[in-house]
Amino acid sequence: MRMKMSPLSKLYVAFIMLLLYAPIVVMIVFSFNASASTSVMTGFSLKWYQSLLHDSATINALKNTLILAVSSSLIATVMGTAAAVGLNVFKNKFAKKTVMGVTNIPMMNPEIVTGISMMLLFVFCARLIGVTDALGFGTMLVAHVTFNLPYVILSVLPKLRQMDKYLPEAAMDLGCTPIQSFFKVTLPSISTGIVSGLMMSFTLSLDDFVISYFTQGPSFETLPIRIFSMTKKRVTPDMYALSTLIFVVILLLLVLLNVAQVRGEKKMHNKLNKGKRG
Stretch 52-81: interaction string toward other proteins, x if CB under 8 A = ---------------------------xx-
Closer Cβ to other proteins, 73 or 114, answer by number: 114
35 lies in the binding site for other proteins (CB under 8 A): no
Let me know: does 103 contact 149? Beta carbons within 8 Å. yes
Query: How many chain residues touch other proteins (CB under 8 A)?
Result: 93
**Residue span binding other proteins (CB under 8 A) among the ranges 19-27, 47-55, 56-64, 269-277:** 19-27
Q: Shortest approach of other proteins to residue 94 CB, angstroms?
A: 12
Closer Cβ to other proteins, 20 or 129, answer by number: 20
Closer Cβ to other proteins, 2 or 274, answer by number: 2
118 lies in the binding site for other proteins (CB under 8 A): yes
CA distances from residue 93 to 80, 113, 152 in whole angstroms, order as listed: 20, 29, 21
Closer Cβ to other proteins, 141 or 277, answer by number: 141
Q: Is 88 helix (H, G, I), strand (E, B) or coil?
A: helix
Q: What is the C-alpha to C-alpha distance for residues 67 and 249, in angstroms, rounded to an integer? A: 16
Residue 151: count other Cβ atoms within 10 Å of its Cβ.
24
Q: Shortest approach of other proteins to residue 275 CB, angstroms?
A: 23
Q: Shortest approach of other proteins to residue 69 CB, angstroms?
A: 12
Closer Cβ to other proteins, 23 or 278, answer by number: 23
Residue from 47, 191, 228, 236 binding other proteins (CB under 8 A) = 228
Residue from 34, 74, 87, 195 binding other proteins (CB under 8 A) = 87
Residue 144: count other Cβ atoms within 10 Å of its Cβ.
26
Q: What is the C-alpha to C-alpha distance for residues 235 and 238, in angstroms, rounded to an integer? A: 8
CA distances from residue 23 to 4, 20, 208, 220 in whole angstroms, order as listed: 29, 7, 19, 29
- 68-82 burial code (b ≥16 CB/10 A, e <16): bbeebbebbbeebbe
Q: What is the C-alpha to C-alpha distance for residues 112 and 211, in angstroms, rounded to an integer? A: 7
20 lies in the binding site for other proteins (CB under 8 A): yes
195 lies in the binding site for other proteins (CB under 8 A): no
**Residue span binding other proteins (CB under 8 A) among the ranges 4-12, 46-54, 55-63, 269-277:** 4-12
199 lies in the binding site for other proteins (CB under 8 A): no
Residues 125-184 that bind other proteins (CB under 8 A): 142-143, 145-146, 149, 151, 153-155, 157, 169, 172, 178
Residue 199: count other Cβ atoms within 10 Å of its Cβ.
19
258 lies in the binding site for other proteins (CB under 8 A): yes
Residue from 68, 185, 227, 241 binding other proteins (CB under 8 A) = 227
- Taking CA 252 as the corner, what is the angle to CA 196 and CA 62, rounded to the nearest 5 degrees? 85
CA 90 to chain centre: 28
Closer Cβ to other proteins, 86 or 188, answer by number: 86
DSSP code, position 33 = B
